[in-house]
A and B are shown apart, each in its own frame.
Chain A
């Protein structure tokens, strides 16, 4: 059974700093997704990572995948307040299901 664990679960940081969210998973999977959720809102897709060594970047966010270590990271560079949100990683199990991590609540303070 696929299990997905994120850490940290809560992260408070200052604007301008760099930090990384980690996503570990227990079994192989074809795809890994990162989602963002703003308070009271739905989930928005950020990245999909398909293969070992894949790296995707959008603005101040960069996601990478190491399938051998069963690890994905979401790196935040020079954080700004607008990036405050909850971030989820998720992986495919079987043909149709996405299994989610617990989420990381990120708060960026001025």
Chain B
């Protein structure tokens, strides 16, 4: 089974800090994604990447950046954390051919900015 591992389950950071959320997948998937999940809003796409060093903005990229230096690792960066970035962050990966299961998700990082 594909595994998508997010480095932290819970994080508490202060306003203005630079925050790194790490995601690693172990099955050579081309595509990787970062979503945030908020009650009543479902999942909203922040950034995605379809290849090493490639990135595309999603629907809500403001305040975030990403890095993909290796195929298996996709990092989400909050340049200067703010309280409105308190949320659950989910990383996902997929094959370019999609297959029958779409994305495989990590277990999520619940970030609280105080």
Please list the residues of chain A having a beta carbon within 8 angstroms of any beta carbon in chain B: 4, 9, 31, 33, 41-45, 48, 88, 90, 92, 96-103
Contacts and interface: CB of A to CB of B under 8 A. Distances in A.
Contacts of B90: 42-43
A42 B102 contact: no
B105 A42 contact: yes
A4 B101 CA distance: 19
Contact of B103 (A98, A101, A103): A98
B102 A100 contact: no
B40 A102 contact: yes
Nearest to A50: B100
Nearest to A9: B40
A31 B31 contact: no
Contacts, number: 53
Nearest to B30: A96
The 10 closest A-B pairs by CB, nearest first: A100-B43, A100-B42, A102-B42, A42-B105, A45-B101, A43-B105, A42-B107, A33-B102, A48-B100, A103-B42
B20 interface: no
A96 B31 contact: yes
Nearest to A45: B101
Nearest to B103: A98
Given A42-B106, A45-B102, A97-B33, 9 more contacts: A43-B43, A44-B105, A48-B100, A96-B31, A96-B50, A97-B45, A100-B35, A100-B42, A101-B42
Interface in B46-87: 48, 50, 56, 58
Contacts of B103: 43, 45, 98
